[in-house]
Structure 1
Amino acid sequence: MTAPLAGVVIVAVEQAIAAPLATRHLADLGATVIKVEHPDGGDFARHYDDNTAGQSTYFVWANRGKQSVVVDLKTDAGRDRLDALIAGADVFVQNLSAGAAERAGLLAHQLLDRHPTIVACDISGYGLDGPRADDKAYDLAIQSEAGAVMLTGSPDEPSKVGISIADISAAMYALSSILAALYRRDRTGEGAAISLSMLECLTEWTSPQVLTAAATGEAPARSPRRHPMIAPYGMFELADGATVLIAVQSDREWRAMAEGVLARPELGNDPRFAGNRDRIANVDELESIISGALAAIGADEARDRLRASRITVADVRDPLDVWHHVQHAARQRKVDVTTETGTAQVFRAPFNISGHTDEGGHVPALDEHA
């Protein structure tokens, strides 16, 4: 079967993670992605490390399946070349600073004026207007501004999220917005100007906690081991020293856990724990009871009881454990990619669309497709 985006041409003036990850997923779906890079070393993410087949891990992750061309946008010849590429493109994506993009005439609304059927997408830190529009923004800066840092960590110390969550959230909204705009264009012929703010994208993801704070006047308490608004939902140790995540999402599940796992059915309707608000109000006492019950039985029996009671339980894995995860192996989730310095294994894209398989592809060398 035809790849979902076969024949769609993407031109991207991009660097770092947010825009490259969005366009990599478009390449995963079959689009031709032309990555326009600066002559002075290209995308700076190329130079983070050399851990993956001699290449930067972040660059391999976010740029496989693309073509690379070097264009000097400070020269007339370079601008003419980029204009020619854009004229033949279905989609244009950029994450330059707002001022630089505007001066170059590369903002989405500027391109839509010149090319009425193009789907053009800006990704910026704070948006194109407002008092912070010109501020530089990387992932951890936006994690801080969107509240993610203050929602993560211990009561005594906030912490960054361990993945590039601000970049990834912007990439996912760029991907979905572009796909929606392409669908509309297919029906109506209209192009689109898309303007995404990393701050707004990540704030959407922190909204439940932000809305709770707005309603109550207090930010949810931080905990490194538990959910701030649902209980019991957190990490517990088993008798063999392993740490697992146990998640109860409803009063019915709590009653099932009280009876089938803790062997104390009376706790299911105990006024201290009967509803989620009650369990949150008495969370320390609740978790002490659960920890004591789990410590008193073998780890295998604890897992068996949790699964028999249909309570969600998950192993807490480090990244190396994830690489060797039995589920990934059983579902053949790894694929080879080639680079100019070797071959690496990566995870397949998670789309799993019938008739289309992620074959890995190639990570382009700088200006390889000039």
Structure 2
Amino acid sequence: MLDVLPLAGMTVVSLEHAVALPFATRHLAEYGARVIKIERPGAGDFARAYDDVVRGRMSAHFSWLNRSKESFAVDIKVPSGRAAVEKLVAGADVVAQNLSPGAAARLGLDAAGLLERYPRLVAVDLSGYGPSGPYADRRAYDMLIQAESGLVSVTGTPEHMAKAGFAAADVAAGTYAAQAVLVALLRRERTGAGAALSLTMLDAITEWNGYAVQFAEHTGRAPARAGVGHPSIAPYEAFTTGDGDSVLIGVQNDREWARLAAGLLRRPELGEDPEFATNRERVRNRARTDALVAGVVGALPTAEVTARLDAAGIAYGRVNEMADVLTHPQLAARDRWVEIDSPAGPVRQLRPVVEFPDAPPRLEPVPGLGEHTEKILTELGYDGAELSGLRADGAI
């Protein structure tokens, strides 16, 4: 069925490491593209060694980000290795890189340089800050970008700021990179023209943090840190039930507040009380609003709380631990888990977020370092003697 996937027949060559670009190219692979991951011989993508929690042999990051790819281990700083990569690039539809600042340009593998040689190519540079400006030469990692973008300043509790609990800047940039490649390929189908694209982690996560940016633009201050609550809506908070469970209740508008007051609190008059009837007043009286809800929720078993919320049509969610997510009934009911092979053995992972009903996604193993090197070189026309020469050079 792979031949009916939308990117079937496309080849993506990616000089990638860490999270942002591997996140993008994994999605391209799942939709049918052949993704060839360029890695350094001996060490590979440094994300392979972030930890060894996958059966003591592979990092959780690498397992998550690299299924359905081929690993081509070659030293691009060795002339013969660089020549092999050039042969590979010449037949590619997409070439992407997130190397250290300036490294790709020195090797002639930056997007602009590639497009000059291959006008139909879609070439992507993904960086922390971009090729110009005072931060152009800075190394960039996810947590640093979260800090620079202001995300850390609005995340956490009133007393303590925090970073997001996942690589938010990386994932944001990877999402935009995959989107940009798809749009550029569509444009190429229509015009025949390739594209040299540049995107940054800072731009991506600042866009995702757009509410806080707009809030600061128009008030001169940042939204208050509110833990798991919401700085501009009340009640929107986690409350502890009589069973000790934590349930996050979110009221989005005044009609919902009236339903919550009648259905959960069993005090319908609060729906019209001028101190609580509007969100502006509930936020102004946040402590009292939350205390009303907490008093009722804390006196009831979880089953009664959720039954009342369901009957009233109020949005809520259990505050789960990650172990709970592994057995989440909704994920199980929708068959969201799949087993993927890897160098560490079979691993359970989530299926792609979007799938075509008539074309199952490409879900193939996580590659071992250099697993496909000789296969790819043979496809490029290298014979046994030439492969021996590459080994002698230290290129592979």
Q: Give your verdict on TM over 0.5.
A: yes
Name the SS for the 2:84 alignment partner.
helix
Asked which structure has the greater RCO (Cα within 8 Å, sep 6+), the reply is 2
User: What is the match of residue 76 of structure 1?
Assistant: 79
Q: Does 1:118 align with 2:145?
A: no
Q: 1:275 to 1:109 in 2, by over 3 A?
A: farther
Q: Say whether the 8 Å CA contact 1:112–1:120 is kept in structure 2.
A: yes
Q: Percent identity?
A: 48
8 Å contact kept, 2:5–2:361: no
Instruction: Show the counterpart of 1:220.
Output: 223
1:96 alignment partner in structure 2: 99
TM norm structure 1: 0.97
Corresponding residue number in structure 1 for 2:297 = 294
Aligned length in residues: 370
Q: Deviations over 1:249-295 (max 9, x none)?
A: 12221121112111122222322223322222221111111111212
- 1:187 aligned residue: 190
Cα distance in 1 for partners of 2:306, 2:136 equals 51
Q: Deviation digits for residues 117-156 of structure 1, max 9, x if unmatched?
A: 1111111001111000111111100111111111111111
1:346-366 deviations in Å (ceiling 9; x for gaps): 111111221222463111111
| Distance in 1 separating the partners of 2:117 and 2:243 | 65
Residues 1-370 of structure 1 mapped to structure 2, 5 A cutoff: 2-53=4-55, 54-358=57-361, 360-370=363-373
| Structure whose CA Rg is larger | 2
2:33 aligned partner, one-letter code: A
Counterpart secondary structure, 1:350: coil
Does structure 1 retain, via aligned residues, the 8 Å contact 2:31–2:362? no
The code of the aligned residue for 1:156 comes to E
Unaligned runs of 5+ in 1: none
SS of residue paired to 2:102: helix
> Relative to structure 2, which stretch is displaced further, 347-356 or 130-139?
347-356
| Equivalent pair of 2:264/2:308 in contact (CA under 8 Å) | yes
3-state DSSP of counterpart to 2:341: strand
Check conservation: 2:7, 2:32, Cα contact below 8 A. yes
Letter in 1 for 2:90: A
- Counterpart Cα distance in 2 of 1:306 and 1:146: 37
SS in 2 for 1:183: helix
Matched-pair contact (CA < 8 Å) for 2:32–2:362: no
Alpha-carbon shift at residue 115 of structure 1 (Å):
1.1
**TM-score, normalised with respect to structure 2:** 0.90
2: CA distance, partners of 1:342 / 1:165 = 28
Partner Cα distance (1:112, 1:274) in 2: 60
Pair 1:280–1:8, CA change in 2 (3 A): same
The CA deviation at 1:40 is: 4.1
The structural deviation recorded for 1:297 is 3.0
Which secondary structure does the structure 2 equivalent of 1:130 belong to? coil
Unaligned ranges ≥5, structure 2: 374-396
Q: In the aligned structure 2, how far is the partner of 1:279 from the partner of 1:101?
A: 54
Distance 1:273 1:216 in 2: 24
Q: Which amino acid aligns with 2:29?
A: A
Query: 2:228 and 2:370 mapped to 1: Cα distance?
Result: 46
Note the C-alpha offset of 1:208.
0.6
Aligned equivalents of 1:277, 1:358: Cα separation in 2 = 46
In 2, Cα distance between equivalents of 1:270 and 1:161: 37
SS at match of 2:346: strand
Structure 1 CA distance, aligned partners of 2:326 and 2:13?
Answer: 32
CA contact (8 A) 1:235 1:244 kept: yes
Verify the 8 A CA contact 2:101 2:138 in the aligned structure 1: no
